[in-house]
Amino acid sequence: MQITVLGIDLGKNSCSVVGLDTTGRVVLRRRLQREGVVKLAAGLPGCVMAMEACCGAHHLGRRLRDQGHQVRLMSPEYVRPYVKAQKNDDRDAEAIAEAATRPTMRFVELKSEVQLDMQSLHRARDRLVGERTALINQLRAFLLERGIIVPQGRRKLELHLETLLTAEQVWLSARTRLLIEDQRAEWRELDRRILAFDEEFAQQARTDEAARLLLTIPGIGPLNATALIAAIGRAETFGRGRDLAAWLGLVPRQMTTGGKPKLLGISKRGNGYLRKMLIHGARAALPTLSKSETPLGGWLRGLMARAHVNTVVVALAAKLARIVCTVLRSGQKFEMRAATVS
């Protein structure tokens, strides 16, 4: 029995594995624990280990790679068309093995432990930001119920609360004041924890060579740089910059038939966190870039004359994604004057 492709359907506790020979025929079907998969792979000659890019796949993939196997990770949406009728774990593993043999399949780059650590930090920070936003919205609702309307903005709410709680005239009941003071303390603690993450990202961006290259791009700060490095590494899996922009969902969806192209809104596919960060960075950099006497500045001014500002921001975010891919693949920092618009 010679196995050339081993498809692994990962589960929390148990995994289904299907082995294919050189002709694509199924020669092995088993259900194993994760450690059992590692032991099975240790007894096989070097072959293709195929998995969906899901939780735990990168860790197991590194262990299998260290055994001399070729690891191929795929997006679950690309594997789904190969699942035959009567879906079950064995059929999923068979579909994974079959999809890994296709020459046009797109594979996910295996992430290192450092990349996974950085992704975990970004996800933890994003959760804290969401908690802070929910807390601020609740504070505004409490005040609105008592006829107190506060202008938009975190800083304005913070100043208004300080004035409200130190005023001689009593606007709130004693219990509500205690509740708001408790929530202000929680708000400060969230700010402290988010700031600690930001400082860690800034330190990482200063010490990482690839992140320092990305910091030369307008609209790319320590948060964006470290998040991009954690997600795509050196962007070696992307053939060109527009592929990265498409992977991030920053390009229009297509509805083309009969040779008549029709473009819709952006696809919003891929990593929503990275897309959000790039759009925020583009919005912050737009005023400065649109006033610069550079090819990029001229392109932005022309686009702003005929499109809504939000459309311009998304277009600039897509442009930044293409620049990021070029900078990472070339290993050269971004030069504004030398930048061309395509």
243-262 per-position pLDDT tens digit: 999 999 998 888 888 888 88
Q: pLDDT class for 1, splitting at 50, 70, 90? A: low
The pTM assigned to this predicted structure is 0.86
Give the three-class secondary structure for 295.
Answer: helix
With a cut of 90, say whether residue 229 has pLDDT above it: yes
For residue 169, the model assigns a pLDDT of 67
Residues 18, 97: contact at Cβ < 8 Å?
A: yes
For residue 245, the model assigns a pLDDT of 92
Angle at CA of residue 166, ends 160 and 167, nearest 5°: 85
With a cut of 70, say whether residue 205 has pLDDT above it: yes
Q: State both tokens at 232.
A: 């795509």
Distance in angstroms (rounded) separating the CA atoms of residues 298 and 296: 5
| Mean pLDDT for the stretch of residues 148-158 | 90
Q: pLDDT class for 274, splitting at 50, 70, 90? A: very high
For residue 342, the model assigns a pLDDT of 57
121-144 per-position pLDDT tens digit: 999 999 999 999 999 999 999 999
| Mean pLDDT for the stretch of residues 91-97 | 93
| Mean pLDDT for the stretch of residues 51-69 | 92
Give the three-class secondary structure for 258.
Answer: coil
Question: Left, alpha or beta for 274 (phi > 0: left; psi -120 to 50: alpha)?
Answer: alpha
For residue 313, the model assigns a pLDDT of 95
- Helices 113-145/222-232 angle, 10° precision: 130
Distance in angstroms (rounded) separating the CA atoms of residues 196 and 184: 18
With a cut of 60, say whether residue 202 has pLDDT above it: yes
Give the three-class secondary structure for 45.
Answer: coil
For residue 95, the model assigns a pLDDT of 94
Helix residue ranges, H only, the chain:
34-42, 57-66, 76-79, 89-100, 113-145, 154-166, 174-207, 209-214, 222-232, 241-247, 272-291, 295-304, 309-330
Q: pLDDT class for 85, splitting at 50, 70, 90? A: confident
Q: pLDDT class for 300, splitting at 50, 70, 90? A: very high
Q: pLDDT class for 6, splitting at 50, 70, 90? A: very high
With a cut of 80, say whether residue 337 has pLDDT above it: no
- Helices 222-232/272-291 angle, 10° precision: 140
Q: State both tokens at 81.
A: 């068309």
For residue 253, the model assigns a pLDDT of 86
Q: pLDDT class for 341, splitting at 50, 70, 90? A: low
| Mean pLDDT for the stretch of residues 230-234 | 90
What is the DSSP secondary-structure string of 122-175? HHHHHHHHHHHHHHHHHHHHHHHHTT----SSHHHHHHHHHHHHH-SS--S-HH
For residue 125, the model assigns a pLDDT of 97
Dihedral, 206, 112, 115, 240 alpha carbons, nearest 10: 90
For residue 340, the model assigns a pLDDT of 59
Count the Cβ atoms, other than its own, within 10 Å of residue 280: 16
CA distances from 310 to 13, 49, 113, 142 (A): 45, 43, 37, 32
